[in-house]
């Protein structure tokens, strides 16, 4: 399902030298004895997930079928990025089924919020508010605004259309939801925000968006089984984790996560959060950044080719995207493009990928790794997410970092609360 090509990675060390450290970290992840071990519920979640809640999600989707055309998802960070990445990767940017998913609660931008309010004026809406802590300010601000909008539009029936995903017992959002009579879904105690795509955090919005969540969970389950080996030779996720550490030691302090499809841009955003929040602490870590080629070759390409050498590239290459086009012939050929007539655009993209890889790696001397993913199905999405979860856990343990907290994020909150006059 996933293979890793390290032929252009330019590693100055043999991966196998890391085998003992990898075996030790693998044990810590699976036996829950490493740093942050209260938050490794995601490791065996694909088999331990809450089946009753999963059935409730499918039942809710069935019950509401035909009653909505718009899903508002209100959340920030790990409480929205996974669902957004999945919807865009699997369904594309302009889904054919007419269900629009709009993400709110991830910004204080009043322009954005006001424009969404205007945009949904004549829509049939359901609203899923998602917050593990139940107190995140961006989410709470937007939720109050959209909750009042729903109450104005639907009156008492608004409560049938609002769902809360939060802690099972604690927090402001849980108390509010119970008091209002909203159906609630749980973010388990031992799974942090950015590791929560396979819980109701991802599954409820995805089900409402008509994504096949059973296939997605099957992908995560297969990845969990196939990547559950400490043997570096057999585990591409661990190879990726080790290659990152070697490149870090070689002085490469930034990683470009490169995709070749605009509908994978949010996968890159999700990946940036996973690695950035997990690894960037104690003065350590690789800066996760991203680019979508060939689009960004016309903006960042110059720097990558000839600028200062701080970065390496990790290309997520999807071998078979669902849609393809054959480039048409034109009898007049005024644009001189007939040399491509009859060719599939996927082939053109593949040639762009190969040409760019050679330019950046051979001429530019940048290390490049290629992660090949079979396709953009829900199954592959589930597989890929688990691949990055386990790779991230491993690479952080190899760096002696707790991947499951984010103490630095609190600093801006404290300063902001002081300015806002929050008690």
374 is catalytic: no
Q: Which residue is nearest to ligand PA5 (CB)?
A: 193
CB 348 within 8 A of CB 292: no
Tell the smallest beta-carbon distance from residue 117 to ligand PA5 (Å). Answer: 22
CB of 403 to ligand PA5, least distance (A): 10
Burial bucket for residue 201 (CB in 10 Å: 0-12, 13-18, 19+): buried
Q: Smallest distance, Å, CB 160 to ligand PA5?
A: 24
Q: How many CB atoms lie within 10 A of CB 199?
A: 25
Give 352-360 contacts, CB < 8 A, sequence gap 24+.
Answer: 352/260, 352/293, 352/294, 353/260, 353/293, 353/315, 353/317, 356/293, 356/294, 356/297, 357/8, 357/315, 359/305, 360/304, 360/305, 360/313
| Pair of tokens at residue 208 | 């409402």
Q: Which is nearer to ligand PA5, 46 or 193 (CB)?
A: 193
The catalytic residue among 277, 279, 311, 313 is: 277
Binders of ligand PA5: how many residues, by CB under 6 A?
A: 14
Per CB under 6 A, 37 contacts ligand PA5: no
Q: For residue 346, give both structure tokens.
A: 């996927």
What are the Cα distances from residue 10, in Å, to 5, 17, 208, 240, 331?
Answer: 11, 16, 44, 13, 47
Residue 245 interacting with ligand PA5 (CB under 6 A) = no
- For residue 261, indicate whether it is catalytic: no
| Residue 78 binds ligand PA5, judged by CB under 6 A | yes
Per CB under 6 A, 77 contacts ligand PA5? yes
Catalytic residue among 51, 298, 336, 418: 298
The smaller minimum CB distance to ligand PA5, of residues 342 and 407, is found at: 407
Pick 36 or 92: Cβ nearer ligand PA5: 36
The enclosing H or E element of 56 equals helix 51-64
CB nearer to ligand PA5: pick between 236 and 288: 288
What track of x and - describes contact with ligand PA5 for positions 188 through 217 (by CB under 6 A)?
Answer: ----xxx-----------------------
Taking residues 130 to 169 in sequence order and writing x for each that binds ligand PA5 by CB under 6 A, - otherwise, the string is: -xxx--x--x------------------------------
Q: Specify the stretch interacting with ligand PA5 by CB under 6 A; choose among 15-23, 56-64, 127-135, 326-334.
A: 127-135
CA distance 32 to 413: 30
DSSP at 344: B
Question: Measured from the CB atom, is 277 or 311 closer to ligand PA5?
Answer: 277
* Annotated active-site residue in 27, 67, 168, 413: 413
Q: Of 268, 246, 247, give the one whose Cα is nearest residue 257.
A: 268
Is residue 277 part of the contact set for ligand PA5 (CB under 6 A)? yes
Q: Residue ranges of the alpha helices (H) in 250-344?
A: 265-279, 301-306
Q: Residue 361 corresponds to which tokens in the numbers above? A: 């790696």
Whether 410 is catalytic? no
Backbone angles phi, psi at 348, to 5 degrees: -60, -45
Residues that bind ligand PA5 (CB under 6 A): 76-79, 131-133, 136, 139, 192-194, 277, 406
Active site residues: 277, 298, 413
């Amino acid at each position: 399902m996933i293979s890793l090509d390290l032929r252009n990675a330019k590693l100055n060390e043999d991966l196998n030298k890391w085998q003992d450290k990898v075996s030790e970290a693998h044990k810590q992840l699976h036996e829950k004895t490493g740093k942050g071990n209260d938050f490794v519920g995601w490791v065996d979640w694909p088999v331990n997930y809450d089946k009753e809640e999963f059935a409730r999600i499918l039942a809710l989707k069935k019950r509401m079928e035909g009653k909505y055309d718009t899903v508002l998802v209100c959340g920030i960070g790990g409480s929205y990025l996974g669902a957004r990445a999945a919807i865009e990767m699997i369904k594309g940017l302009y889904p054919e089924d007419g269900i629009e998913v709009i993400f709110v609660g991830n910004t204080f931008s009043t322009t954005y919020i006001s424009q969404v309010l205007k945009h949904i004026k004549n829509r049939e809406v359901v609203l899923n508010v998602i917050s593990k802590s139940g107190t995140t300010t961006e989410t709470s601000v937007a939720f109050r605004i959209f909750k009042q909008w729903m109450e104005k539009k639907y009156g008492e029936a608004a409560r049938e259309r609002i769902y809360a995903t939060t802690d099972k017992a604690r927090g402001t959002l849980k108390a509010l939801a119970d008091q209002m009579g909203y159906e609630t879904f749980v973010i388990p105690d031992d799974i942090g925000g950015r590791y929560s795509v396979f819980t109701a955090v991802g599954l409820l919005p995805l089900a409402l968006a008509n994504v096949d969540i059973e296939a997605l969970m099957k992908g995560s389950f297969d990845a969990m089984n196939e990547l559950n080996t400490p043997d570096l030779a057999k585990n591409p996720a661990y190879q990726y984790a080790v290659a990152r550490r070697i490149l870090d030691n070689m002085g490469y302090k930034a990683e470009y996560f490169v995709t070749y499809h605009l509908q994978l841009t949010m996968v890159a955003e999700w990946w940036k959060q996973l690695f950035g929040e997990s690894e960037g602490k104690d003065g350590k870590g690789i800066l996760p950044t991203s680019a979508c080629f060939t689009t960004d070759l016309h903006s960042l390409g110059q720097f990558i080719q000839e600028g200062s050498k701080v970065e390496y590239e990790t290309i997520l290459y999807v071998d078979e995207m669902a849609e393809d086009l054959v480039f048409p012939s034109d009898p007049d050929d005024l644009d001189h493009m007939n040399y491509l007539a009859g060719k599939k655009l996927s082939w053109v993209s593949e040639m762009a990928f190969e040409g760019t890889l050679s330019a950046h790696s051979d001429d530019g001397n940048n290390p490049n790794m290629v992660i090949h993913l079979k396709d953009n199905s829900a199954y592959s999405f589930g597989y890929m997410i688990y691949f990055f979860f386990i790779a991230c856990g491993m690479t952080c343990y190899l760096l002696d970092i707790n991947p499951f907290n984010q103490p630095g994020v609190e600093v801006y909150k404290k300063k902001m609360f002081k300015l806002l006059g929050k008690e």
